[in-house]
Amino acid sequence: MALEINASCPPFELPGTDDKTHSLASFEQDLLVVVVSCNHCPYVIAYEPRLVALAKEYGPRGVGWVAVNANDATRYPDDGMEPMKVRARERGFPFPYLRDDSQAFVRALGARFTPEVFVFDKQRKLRYHGRIDDNHRDESQVTSHDLRNALDALLAGKDPPVLETVAFGCSIKWK
């Protein structure tokens, strides 16, 4: 069951591809975008350039970003820490890319797919949850920029125009 709007972000303390441990408290920005992600999913791969661009655009405006991969790396070795390090380096992720090996954090979020985004406010209450936009195949055909709309609204002190959307992508590979 997904985290409800206005619920608190579950705490986490997870290792990143930068060899550092990151916790919820280590993000001090006004907003925090948690992207449940992975290495092998074609939907994620399609969205990665958009996520990197969004993070670079909104980072200086007080939006923290973190990507978390919880996929079972035994069944999907491409989702292990070492391949994650390669991906983060190759794609130039401007945000920490964390490994949730126990899957506890991603389970607490109630995420089901990759990519799936959760936007938390300064008090780390959930304000938007769902998809990044409505077209993973072709960015030029996007008609609903859901994540961008949510961030713009929250940065302007308003509620997101849409609080929840149905995320689509690959199912999370549970253990």
DSSP 8-state secondary structure symbol assigned to residue 164: B
Among 56, 122, 137, 158, which residue sits at the site for other proteins (rule: CB under 8 A)? 137
Q: What are the two backbone dihedrals, phi and then psi, of residue 25, each rounded to the nearest 5 degrees?
A: -70, -15
Q: How far is the CB of 166 from other proteins (least distance, A)?
A: 4
Build a one-symbol-per-residue string for 83-112: x at contacts with other proteins by CB under 8 A, - elsewhere: -----------------------------x
Q: Is 127 in the site for other proteins (CB under 8 A)?
A: no
Stretches 57-65, 82-90, 97-105, 164-172: which one binds other proteins (CB under 8 A)? 164-172
- Residue 4 binds other proteins, judged by CB under 8 A: no
For β-strands 113-114 and 97-99, DSSP reports them as unpaired
Q: Which stretch, 4-12, 59-67, 149-157, 162-170, contacts other proteins (CB under 8 A)?
A: 162-170
State both tokens at 59: 């980072």
Minimum distance, C-beta of residue 11 to other proteins, in the bound complex (Å): 25
Quick one: which of 12, 14, 37, 43 contacts other proteins (CB under 8 A)? 43
Which residues, in sequence order, are CB contacts of 34 under 8 Å at separation 6+? Answer: 9, 66, 67, 68, 109, 117, 118, 119, 120
Q: Letter for the amino acid at 73?
A: A
Distance (Å, whole) CA 149 – CA 95: 20
Nearest to 115 by CA among 60, 31, 40: 40
Query: Rule CB under 8 A: which residues touch other proteins?
Result: 1, 40-43, 45, 112-113, 137, 166, 168-171, 173-174
